Amino acid sequence: MVKPIIYLVSDSLGETAEKVIKSALLQFGDHHEYELVREPYVDGREKINHVLMTVARERAIVGYTLVDPELREYIYERSVELDIEAIDILGPMLDAMERMFKKKPRVKPGLNHQLDEAYFKRIEAIEFAVKYDDGRDPRGIEKADIVLVGISRTSKTPLSQYLALKSFKVANVPIVPEVDPPKELFSVDPSKCIGLKINSQKLNDIRKERLKALGLKPNANYATTTRIEQELEYFETLVERLGCPVIDVSYKAVEETANIILQLQMLN
């Protein structure tokens, strides 16, 4: 027995039409009992005619997702003339939304695919932030859109993750007086680097709480005023050498600092 054929006509990739048709086919058994033929990027009457003539010859049916109302009308009229069973998958929803929103649709094919690209770009940025967190690999400095520079407990990691959700690739570099900063830090555009400074008393409180959370004594050298002042002095020397913008994160939420960084990026 010859398999029934269903043509999927789209002005983009045809993924939407395929998903809908396959969902419907499940109500009639395994979709492998049918043959699906995808016809992507159909953007004119000539292509529509070519497909419909084939559909008529093979006594198939056609499902279509076309955003252009003229093309939708044309494929409907030609299907009637050729006695073809044709299903407008997208049109009725677009028409209903046009009436509800009282505005015309953009009539731009492939927007769903563009959203997918945005999603994957965001995922890539998140993976980048994890890979190049806390100076694990200095090679990330040159690849990054933004490089965060700061001493311990200045919110470098949460900022990296927050900015990654905005699709920015972020590397962060911890600054420690006893460790030379990576040479890559001095070869990138200074406008890509953002120094994160903090009030010494605020940092002292944060570090003491961190030590408590780890079950350590709050008077460890890590949280002493002397040590913090030493780190902050070294940080100031470094960012002056880099010539990069500096943001005081002492009393700012991560979102607030991130918005300042995004504004700086827009100016570059």
Examine the domain organization and report whether 71 and 124 are in the same domain: no
The 10s digit of each residue's pLDDT in 98-127 is 888 888 877 676 666 566 677 788 889 999
Q: Specify the pLDDT at position 80.
A: 95
Residue-wise pLDDT tens digits, 197-249: 999 999 999 999 989 888 888 889 999 999 999 999 999 999 999 999 999 99
Residues 156 and 42 in one domain: no
Query: Which pLDDT belongs to residue 13?
Result: 81
For the chain, what is the mean pLDDT? 90
Angle between helical axes of 156-164 and 254-267 (0-180°, round to 10): 60
Buried b (16+ CB within 10 A) or exposed e, 114-150: eeeeeeeeeeebbebbeebbebeeeebbeebbbbbbb
| 105 to 14, 42, 110, 148, 207: CA distances (angstroms) | 19, 19, 13, 41, 54
Whether 260 and 168 share a structural domain = yes
Question: pTM surpassing 0.75?
Answer: no
Rounded Cα distance between 46 and 247, Å, is 59
Same domain, 19 and 151: no
Same domain? For 11 and 91 the reply is: yes
Domain that holds residue 168: 118-267
* Residues annotated within a binding site for ADP: 150-157
Half-sphere exposure of residue 262: CA atoms within 13 angstroms, side-chain side: 15
Q: Which residues are annotated as a binding site?
A: 150-157
Q: 161 and 51 in one domain? A: no
Q: Is 62 helix (H, G, I), strand (E, B) or coil?
A: strand
Helix, strand, coil tally for the chain in percent (to 5): 55, 15, 30
Strand partners of residue 86: 62
Using one digit for the tens of pLDDT, what is the confidence trace for 73-104?
Answer: 999 999 999 999 999 998 888 888 888 888 88
Q: Tell me, what CATH number does 224's domain have?
A: 3.40.50
Do 62 and 162 lie in one domain? The reply is no
> For residue 133, is it left (φ>0), alpha (ψ between -120 and 50) or beta?
beta
Whether 240 and 158 map to the same domain: the answer is yes
Q: In this structure, are 84 and 192 located in the same domain?
A: no
8-state DSSP, 27:
B
Instruction: Tell me, yes or no, whether 228 and 140 share the same domain.
Output: yes
User: C-alpha distances in angstroms, 162 versus 44, 87, 158, 165?
Assistant: 43, 43, 6, 5
Domain count, the chain: 2
Same domain, yes or no: 105 and 123: no
Domain's final residue, options 109, 133, 161: 109
CA 26, CA 258: separation in Å to the nearest integer?
Answer: 47
Sheet holding 146-150, edge to edge: 170-174, 146-150, 193-197, 246-248
